[in-house]
Amino acid sequence: MRTKKELETELQKLKAQVATISGKATKERELLLEKAKAEDTSSGLFALAKYMIDENKRTTMILKGITDTLSRLEQDIGYNYQQDEVQEQQAQMERQILPVSDLDAKIIQFIQIKGMACADDIRQHMSYRGRNAASARLNRLFKQGVLERYQLGHKVYYKYDAGKATNILIVSPPQ
């Protein structure tokens, strides 16, 4: 398949050819009319009319071919533009709005600053008595697609990757 640049270049060339042919046809018609006015005989007028009709048919055939090619190229170029717009609209529709609690927002912010965190880190940061509450919150954020989970030895670490969470809009309540 041709690139957009190649299609646009070919489109410009064809438009220039159409303009050239249209200009030549107009000049030829003017010359024929001048000759017809200058000649008084009916046979000369008849010959000029026949020549003019033949030239008009040839020019029309050429212009029709060029116009069809132009239409096809414009559709190809237009289709690419429309396809890009459709893909962008689909990406916006697929984007999730994820409301998170104030505590979850603090956990995400802590993980962003630290880089990676395990349930013990979250327990200490949030002043939880046990590890279960921290693990539950981290698992829920992982299942929602906000965090990534890594097993390192016996501990499970969570990481926030903004590049992979592009389809998620995290909304926390105002403070």
pLDDT tens readout for residues 19-35? 777 777 677 777 766 76
The larger pLDDT score, comparing residue 120 to residue 72, is at: 120
Does 115 have pLDDT greater than 80? yes
Q: What is the DSSP string of 37-64?
A: HH---HHHHHHHHHHHHHHHHHHHHHHH
Range with the largest mean pLDDT of 29-43, 58-72, 101-115: 101-115
Who contacts 15 (Cβ-Cβ below 8 Å, separation ≥6)? 70
Domain borders along the chain are 4-93, 96-171
- 148-152 sheet: strands from edge to edge: 116-118, 155-159, 148-152
Does 43 have pLDDT greater than 70? no
Name the architecture of domain 96-171. Answer: Orthogonal Bundle (1.10)
Give the integer Cα–Cα distance in Å for 148 and 12.
50
pLDDT for residue 159: 92
Token digits of residue 73: 């190229």
Token digits of residue 53: 């009709």
Does 68 have pLDDT greater than 70? yes
Does 110 have pLDDT greater than 80? yes
